[in-house]
């Protein structure tokens, strides 16, 4: 399960880097906005995932 989550986070961040690179090349603001949104939602999803793991550990103890 951890490998799948790590892979998804890596792929999302790779997509964000691609969007930022497209912004640098074309100077179109939409690529920057898309990249920022991908980063924002990746961080939120990661925090939720690790929060669930933390609560699960607390309940098992």
pLDDT tens digits along 12-32:
999 999 999 999 999 999 999
Joined together, the tokens standing for residue 34 give 């898309």
For 28, which DSSP code? -
* 10-35 exposure pattern, b = at least 16 Cβ within 10 A, e = fewer: eebbeebeebbebbeeeeeeebeebb
Q: What is the pTM of this model?
A: 0.84
Of all residues in the chain, what percent are helix, strand and coil, respectively (each to 5)?
A: 95, 0, 5
**pLDDT for 5:** 85
**pLDDT for 54:** 94
Q: Quick check: 17 and 39 in contact, CB under 8 A?
A: no
């Amino acid at each position: 399960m951890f490998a799948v989550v790590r892979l998804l986070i890596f792929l999302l961040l790779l997509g964000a880097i691609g969007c930022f690179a497209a912004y640098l090349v074309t100077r179109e603001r939409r690529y920057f906005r898309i990249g920022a949104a991908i980063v924002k939602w990746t961080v939120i999803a990661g925090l939720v995932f690790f929060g669930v793991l933390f609560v699960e550990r607390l309940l098992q103890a």
